[in-house]
């Protein structure tokens, strides 16, 4: 056991390590026979979606003891999506770095990761992959379905929808305020197919959870049962030396991309999967998402692409029922934490409600995966989620209406004099990893009030930022390189004609290169990218990679392994 490097022997160092860790642990915990398992726990009162993870951790502990291991709880940086400003994504890499360093620094033989809210599972997976000790993930699970005045209420998605309804005069402010108390029905993360639900499913499709765990509602007792089982399983994984590098191979990323399309998952998964692949040395590119996933049909009828919520998906058969339909596109060799191929865990699963999970023969939509666009506006790529877009706008030409920042957007979007029509293309720049440090979820810009009042509910929107997984619309995002990194998005002028052709995979401005070459980013915009002088933001800006590479820090790509550090005394 790796932990024996701390606890083994008769010298003063081993004495120190053992003595301070006794506190109720039996002698056998230090004899080098029982795996020491760290539970990386993102429970926090300021991460409401992860608040219940201490209860989950207790079930994991029970399972670890029952299987002959020794559990230890390690609170980790937690990122509450709705609380932290300017954006939780600014600290995904910090949480990943802390996870990696604290696993390596401690007497740990195996790792259980407890995450939920959007950035927590990706951060934990990135960090653990760079250490490469036996690891499994327990997604904290979604909230139960909310409902408001008889209608299902989806976290995030219905906030966007209701706020647009208020601006369009279709909903009163009082009703909007009243809906707030119905939004969060139970413990757990967002109940739509937003980023948290998506990343839980990605963890399972990658092979990093016990089969059938992803999507188990946080309030369902089966989450605790599976957590107990996960605790037992991680002990076995240590004896088997089954590590992330055995599981996270290219085939497992193929499975994740196929799953992403089938469930209509969040565009944020593109960035997170690229970053995780970078940690384990799998050569995954943006183009893989298009090549592997774009022809995969949408089978899951969940908000924001559809109507149902995560509890409905769980009852209808869950992720495994979706994967079973898509089995022909899955990599048959990629393993999961059972040590067997993921596809083996699909035997016997069924769909129990075809209104929630469609059969492959009758999908909700064909060719629904992420499309990757290139052109003179996105030389390193941009993405669009056709499943959440208006079909009639997937091929479009229109004049650009440019906003230099999200504040500029908020100040002017409802100006009655704003020169905008249903043909316009809203462009928001300065929101990439460097420009707005962290890359916020602002790409799904609200529709101008005067157009909403005319009944127009979607426009083509282009941005170098991200959007919430709960959002929808014809939104081209993750444009790379971003304006702040010198990308051509910074060279656009109001009125330039933007060409979007998703079938042709094109995002371009109808201008010759020679005209673009003569332009530069407006000075005022360039100056607004004020670089912080110190602290994490300084480090982040100096080292963050562009969205098409996963927005990891350049010096965190790859892994350093689990070698035991030098003695501390
Ligand atoms: Fe935490 Fe949506 S805010 S998952």
- The CATH number assigned to the domain holding 294 equals 3.40.50.2300
Q: 89 and 466 in contact (C-beta within 8 Å)? A: yes
| Nearest Cα residue to 556 out of 280, 367, 292 | 280
Please tell me the distance from the alpha carbon of residue 217 to that of residue 349, in angstroms, as a whole number.
18
Q: What's the 190 CA to ligand 1 centre distance in angstroms?
A: 5
State the pTM of this model.
0.97
Q: Hey, is 371 helix, strand or coil?
A: strand
ω into 481 cis (within 30 of 0): yes
Please list the residues that pair with 189 across neighbouring strands: 142
Both tokens of 367, joined, read 């060719």
In this structure, the residues whose C-beta lies within 6 A of any atom of ligand 1 are 49, 81-82, 117-118, 155-156, 189-190, 194, 196
Atom of ligand 1 lying closest to residue 468 CA: 2
Looking at residue 32, its pLDDT comes to 87
What's the CA-to-centroid distance between 89 and ligand 1, angstroms?
A: 13
pLDDT of residue 312: 98
Task: Specify the DSSP class assigned to residue 348.
Answer: T
- For residues 164 and 129, membership in a common domain is answered with no
Name the DSSP letter for residue 48: G
Same domain, 382 and 401: yes
Q: Average pLDDT by consecutive 10-residue portion of the chain (569 residues)?
A: 95 95 93 95 98 98 98 98 95 98 98 98 98 98 94 89 89 94 94 96 98 98 98 98 98 98 95 98 97 96 92 98 98 98 96 98 93 97 91 97 94 95 97 94 92 93 92 93 95 97 97 92 79 92 97 98 91
β-pairing, 425-428 vs 506-509, is unpaired
Interior CA angle at 256 toward 252 and 258, to 5°? 115
CA of 189 to the centre of ligand 1 (A): 5
Would you say residue 410 lies in a domain? yes
Do both 141 and 152 map to the same domain? no
**Same domain for 243 and 136?**
yes
Does 222 lie in the same domain as 101? yes
Look at residue 552 and tell me if it is in a domain: no
Same domain membership, residue 40 and residue 19: no
Residue 195 falls inside a structural domain? yes
**Res 275: pLDDT:** 98
Range of the domain at 164: 147-182
Distance CA 10, CA 28 (A): 15
| C-alpha 441 to ligand 1 mean position (Å) | 13
Q: What is the CA radius of gyration of the chain?
A: 24
Q: Which of 442, 445, 435 is closest to 528 using CA atoms?
A: 435
In a domain, 484, yes or no: yes
- 299 and 411 part of one domain: no
List the residue whose alpha carbon is closest to atom 2 of ligand 1: 190
Q: Name the residue of 85, 117, 185 to mutate for ligand 1: max ligand atoms within 8 A of Cβ.
A: 117
3-state helix, strand, coil in the chain (%, to 5): 40, 15, 45
Q: Please check whether residue 272 is in contact with residue 235, taking contact to mean a CB–CB distance below 8 angstroms.
A: no
Size of the chain, expressed as the number of residues it contains? 569
Same domain, 382 and 323: no
Regarding whether 393 and 261 lie in a shared domain, the answer is no
The reply to whether 360 falls in a domain is no
Residue among 53, 146, 154, 155 whose CB has most ligand 1 atoms within 8 A, to mutate: 155
Q: How far is the CA of 109 from the centre of ligand 1 (A)?
A: 31
Q: What is the 3-state secondary structure (H, E, C) of 315-345?
A: HCCHHHHHHHHCHHHCCCCCECCCCCEHHHH
Last residue of a domain, one of 134, 165, 182: 182
Any idea what DSSP says for residue 40?
E
Ligand 1 atom closest to residue 80's alpha carbon, by position in its atom list: 1
Residue 569: the pLDDT is 80
Residue 564 counted as domain residue = no
362 in a domain, yes or no?
A: no
- CATH number of the domain at 420, please: 3.50.30.80
> Which of 121, 194, 199 to probe ligand 1 with, by most ligand atoms within 8 A of CB?
194
- Ligand 1 atom closest to the Cα of residue 189 is 4
Distance 290 CA to ligand 1 centre (A): 27
Q: Does any domain span residue 172?
A: yes
Does 215 share its domain with 68?
A: yes
Q: Whose CA is nearest to atom 3 of ligand 1?
A: 81
How many domains, the chain? 4
332 shares its domain with 396: no
Token digits for 165? Answer: 């309804």
- Chain CA centroid to CA 500, Å: 26
Q: How far apart are CA 38 and CA 69, in angstroms?
A: 10
Distance of CA 391 to the CA centre of its chain: 25
11 alpha carbon – ligand 1 mean position (Å): 48
Shared-domain flag, residues 317 and 385? no
């Amino acid at each position: 056991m790796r932990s024996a490097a701390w606890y083994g022997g008769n010298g003063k160092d081993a004495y120190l390590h053992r003595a301070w860790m006794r506190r109720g642990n039996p002698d056998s915990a230090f004899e080098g026979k029982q795996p020491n398992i760290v539970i990386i726990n993102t429970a926090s009162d300021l991460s409401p979606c992860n608040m219940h993870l201490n209860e989950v951790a207790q079930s994991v502990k029970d399972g670890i003891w029952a299987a002959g291991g020794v559990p230890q709880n390690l609170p980790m940086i937690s990122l509450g999506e709705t609380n932290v400003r300017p954006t939780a994504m600014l600290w995904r890499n910090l949480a990943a770095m802390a996870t990696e360093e604290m696993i390596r620094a401690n007497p740990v033989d195996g790792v259980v990761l407890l995450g939920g809210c959007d950035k927590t599972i990706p951060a934990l997976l990135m960090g653990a992959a760079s250490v490469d000790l036996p690891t499994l993930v327990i997604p904290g699970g979604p909230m139960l379905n909310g409902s408001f005045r008889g209608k299902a209420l989806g976290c995030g998605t219905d906030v966007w929808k209701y706020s647009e309804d208020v601006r369009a005069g279709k909903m009163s402010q009082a009703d909007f305020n009243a809906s707030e108390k119905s939004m969060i029905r139970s413990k757990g993360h967002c109940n739509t197919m937003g980023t948290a639900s998506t990343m839980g499913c990605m963890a399972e499709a990658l092979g990093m959870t016990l089969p059938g765990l992803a999507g188990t509602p946080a309030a369902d007792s089966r989450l605790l049962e599976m957590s107990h089982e996960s605790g037992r399983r991680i002990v076995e994984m240590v004896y088997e030396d089954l590590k992330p590098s055995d599981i996270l191979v290219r085939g497992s990323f193929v499975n994740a991309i196929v799953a992403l399309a089938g469930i209509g998952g969040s565009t944020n998964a593109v960035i997170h999967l690229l970053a995780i692949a970078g940690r384990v040395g799998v050569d995954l590119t943006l183009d893989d998402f298009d090549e592997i996933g774009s022809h995969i049909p949408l089978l899951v009828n969940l908000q924001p692409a559809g109507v149902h919520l995560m509890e409905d998906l769980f009852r209808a058969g869950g992720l495994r029922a979706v994967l079973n339909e898509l089995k022909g596109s899955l990599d048959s060799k990629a393993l999961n934490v059972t040590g067997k191929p993921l596809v083996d865990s699909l035997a016997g699963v069924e769909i129990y409600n075809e209104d929630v999970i469609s059969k492959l023969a009758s999908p909700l939509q064909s060719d629904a995966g992420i499309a990757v666009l290139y052109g003179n506006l996105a030389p390193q790529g941009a993405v669009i989620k056709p499943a959440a877009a208006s079909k009639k706008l997937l091929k479009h030409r229109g004049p650009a209406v440019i906003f230099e920042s999200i504040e500029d957007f908020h100040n002017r979007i409802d100006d009655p004099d704003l020169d905008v029509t249903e043909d316009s293309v809203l462009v928001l720049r300065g929101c990439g990893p460097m420009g707005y440090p962290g890359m916020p979820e602002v790409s799904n810009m609200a529709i101008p009030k005067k157009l909403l009042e005319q009944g127009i509910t979607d426009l083509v929107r282009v941005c170098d930022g991200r959007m919430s997984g709960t959002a929808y619309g014809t939104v081209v995002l993750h444009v790379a390189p971003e304006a702040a990194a010198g990308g051509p998005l910074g060279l656009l002028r109001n009125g330039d004609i933007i060409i979007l052709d998703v079938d042709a995979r094109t995002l371009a401005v109808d201008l010759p290169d020679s005209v673009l070459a003569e332009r530069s980013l407006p000075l005022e915009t360039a100056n607004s990218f004020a670089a912080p002088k110190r602290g994490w933001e300084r480090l982040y800006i100096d080292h963050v990679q562009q969205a098409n590479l996963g927005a990891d820090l350049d010096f965190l790509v790859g892994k350093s392994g689990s070698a035991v550090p030098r003695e501390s005394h």
